[in-house]
Structure 1
């Protein structure tokens, strides 16, 4: 009788452990600052936006119990590699430099990079035109890497967040900023953006720096999670969920080529 009870207890423990493993929390790192229309917090700390909805859809499809962990952008990769978070969903471009440290899922969107600037300043997205101009970028991003390579004659100023760069542009402390074209277009639709600035154009492609698109950042060697995410990305594109979410925010195909 004692042996039977022991076996039953062991079997119950296996069931409990199995259930716990199936519902284990997956910590999703996103940038702590607003990045509309991708990630936007409210006063209570709740997040919304296109990327949040895509995250929810991916986690549901992959059967992951996901929890958002807002993280400073310049510390988000160390947070992933140290195990503080399990993946990054934060408009992070897939680049060769990052692939030396982390891995990525397949891309889930791809938009061009652009420059906006003060209306009264004649600027084109070339080194010659930007020579001597004050150009703002968010630090530790592909955009900082790009401007330092392609616009060496510009005076580059880096910022902790894109919003800080945009506000300095509004205040006239910059001539221009470079970032994702969609994020900049959203800023130009705001009251302050409309008043001060306009689109100066898209930069020339450089896949080595800008990458082939945006993917979910994961730890190297986490092949099981990568497989789940890749299947989930393919599934929500095939079943219409991706398009249904996207059409609420955009009038074009954000997935790109």
Structure 2
């Protein structure tokens, strides 16, 4: 499930208008005039239960609620800035946004480009395939298979490193495109975040004929720990980490967690 990588300061326009700078469209759910408002970058695509749009077109989900709680704890106003996933880290480093909150796994490669807060949840990655196909998740078992992943993600890097010599890897701009091609039979396996697949795709009508293949995968390169990304050296990293710790301690995190999950997504 990942690449998911992610110029000037934004100009403040009259309320009700959107700002377009290159590929970046800024939508402010809060008042757009605040000069010290944090610009929170996210990829504007469905990623339930973390990001979904309701009937009114408003973003909802675990990360949406968590961002609001963290910013409240920090005493900071903010706006959500939608950016294509594969450009989100460049947008951060080009000062188009201040922080990325978008289920971004902490990997050694990404840590060369950005700093991360402490984790705010953890997850494994899994292969999902048809129930009717008894696929063995080994090099021999996957030989010749087509594996779908979202581009610029830790999952893409992981499967390339571990199975790239035996499988065909097909990369997509958005995770729901991977799911759709799996359902249509155009790929053999979908590799993505375990929570998004198990509590998202597999619970839908589209995913009813599919199942997890093999065991969940967790290693340092699979992006198991999820954190907020900021520019190198930005003290915002420590401010966010302190806020995560505070809402874990006072029960706010648990309230949000229990709204979406029947287990502690934070992990150990």
TM-score, normalised relative to structure 1? 0.87
In structure 2, the gaps of 5 or more residues are: 1-33
Q: Are positions 1:191 and 2:205 aligned together? A: yes
Q: Are positions 1:201 and 2:232 aligned together? A: no
Q: Is the Cα contact below 8 Å between 2:218 and 2:224 reproduced in 1?
A: no
The equivalent position to 1:48 in structure 2, one of 41, 55, 60, is 60
Q: Is the Cα contact below 8 Å between 1:138 and 1:165 reproduced in 2?
A: yes
- Aligned-pair Cα RMSD in Å: 1.6
What residue is the counterpart of 1:251 in the other structure?
A: 262
Q: Are positions 1:236 and 2:247 aligned together? A: yes
Aligned equivalents of 1:86, 1:253: Cα separation in 2: 28
Q: Is the Cα contact below 8 Å between 1:23 and 1:64 reproduced in 2?
A: no
What residue is the counterpart of 2:191 in the other structure?
A: 178
In structure 1, the gaps of 5 or more residues are: 1-21
Q: Which structure 2 residues correspond to residues 161-176 of structure 1 after superposition, within 5 A?
A: 161-176=174-189
More helix by share: 1
Aligned equivalents of 1:128, 1:235: Cα separation in 2: 47
Q: CA deviation at 1:211?
A: 3.6
Range 172-181 or range 149-158, more displaced: 149-158
Alpha-carbon distance change, 178 to 139 in structure 1, aligned in 2, over 3 angstroms: same
Q: Is the Cα contact below 8 Å between 2:127 and 2:190 reproduced in 1?
A: yes
Q: Can you list the C-alpha shifts for 1:19-56, whole angstroms capped at 9, x where unaligned?
A: xxx97110000111111000112354311000110110
